[in-house]
């Protein structure tokens, strides 16, 4: 069965420091990976997806199939980056086709 | 924003009473999900649906039931609400894999308080 893990519940960094939010997955097929962000009291929204290889708000993520990872990175954290971040996987399964990790709360300190 | 709405947005109910939350979509997406979000736990899947009348349990399904009689509506019912079900509930929708721009869209959430 597909599964997404995010080992850190909380990550605190200082403004201007690099950020890396970890995500690992298990899936036997060819996955599509996503990062979602939730700002305070708002709905979750898509941040980026691996197939578009884009950079959004300075964040990037590279799919590493060998390590089954999709870590989210940003070279210089900003206070407005403070939010909950969820890694997600989309599969070919007939049933549940979207699986979310438990989330990491990023806190960027001034 | 994707056409997904949750109702009600806020509800306070008493322990032991039944509660139904509604998720309505206008995107004609196949998949619909109910999650609860609690501090320290992130998102946890309650139930999901992969078509009309096709539903299955998630990791925290005890005390909850769902129904999907139409593509556009996915109802979550708490048969007898308990204080442990105080939470923020999110509905999500997604199209079939392989459709253009596969993505999960979320509703704005329902804040439920059981007193």
List pLDDT tens digits, range B13-57.
999 999 999 999 999 999 999 999 998 778 899 999 999 999 999
pLDDT given at position A17: 97
Residue B97 confidence class, pLDDT cut points 50, 70, 90: low
Q: What is the DSSP-derived secondary structure letter of residue A69? A: B
> For the CA atoms of chain B, what is the radius of gyration?
14
> For the CA atoms of chain A, what is the radius of gyration?
14
In angstroms, what CA-CA distances link B102 with B29, B30, B74, B98, B99? 10, 12, 20, 7, 6
Q: How far is B72 from chain A (nearest CA, A)?
A: 17
Q: Is the pLDDT of residue B61 over 80?
A: yes
Among the partner residues A86, A98, A100, nearest to B31 by beta-carbon distance: A98
Q: Which of residues 2-61 of A touch B (CB under 8 A)?
A: 6, 9, 32, 34, 36, 42-46, 49
Which residue in this structure is represented by tokens 């549940």?
A96
- β-bridge mates for residue B94, sequence order: B31
Is residue A83 within 8 A of residue A66, CB to CB? The reply is no
Residue A96 confidence class, pLDDT cut points 50, 70, 90: low
Say whether A32 and B106 touch across the interface (CB within 8 A): no
In angstroms, what CA-CA distances link A26 with A3, A99, B8? 5, 11, 36
Is residue A105 within 8 A of residue A9, CB to CB? The reply is yes
Kindly state the average pLDDT of the residues B63-90.
97
Residue A98 confidence class, pLDDT cut points 50, 70, 90: confident
- β-bridge mates for residue A53, sequence order: none
Pair of tokens at residue A91:
């599969």
Residue A31 confidence class, pLDDT cut points 50, 70, 90: confident
Number of helices (H), then strands (E), in chain B: 0, 11
């Amino acid at each position: 069965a597909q599964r997404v893990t995010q080992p850190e519940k909380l990550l605190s960094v200082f403004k201007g420091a690099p950020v890396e939010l970890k995500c690992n997955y298990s899936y036997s097929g060819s996955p599509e990976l996503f990062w979602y962000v939730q700002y305070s009291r708002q709905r979750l929204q898509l941040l980026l997806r691996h197939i578009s290889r884009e950079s959004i708000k300075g964040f990037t993520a590279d799919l590493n199939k060998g390590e089954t990872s999709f870590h989210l990175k940003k070279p210089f954290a900003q206070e407005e980056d403070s939010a909950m971040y969820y890694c997600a996987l989309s599969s070919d399964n007939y049933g549940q086709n979207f699986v979310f990790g438990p989330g990491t709360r990023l806190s960027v300190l001034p | 924003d994707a056409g997904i709405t949750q109702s009600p947005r806020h509800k306070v109910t008493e322990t032991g009473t039944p509660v139904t939350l509604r998720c309505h979509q206008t995107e004609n997406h196949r998949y619909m999900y109910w999650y609860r979000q609690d501090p320290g736990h992130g998102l946890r899947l309650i139930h999901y649906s992969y078509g009309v009348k096709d539903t299955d349990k998630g990791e925290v399904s005890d005390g909850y039931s769902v129904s999907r009689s139409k593509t556009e509506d996915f109802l979550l019912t708490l048969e007898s609400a308990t204080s442990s079900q105080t939470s923020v509930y999110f509905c999500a929708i997604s199209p079939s894999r392989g459709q253009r721009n596969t993505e999960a869209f979320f509703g704005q959430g329902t804040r439920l308080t059981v007193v």
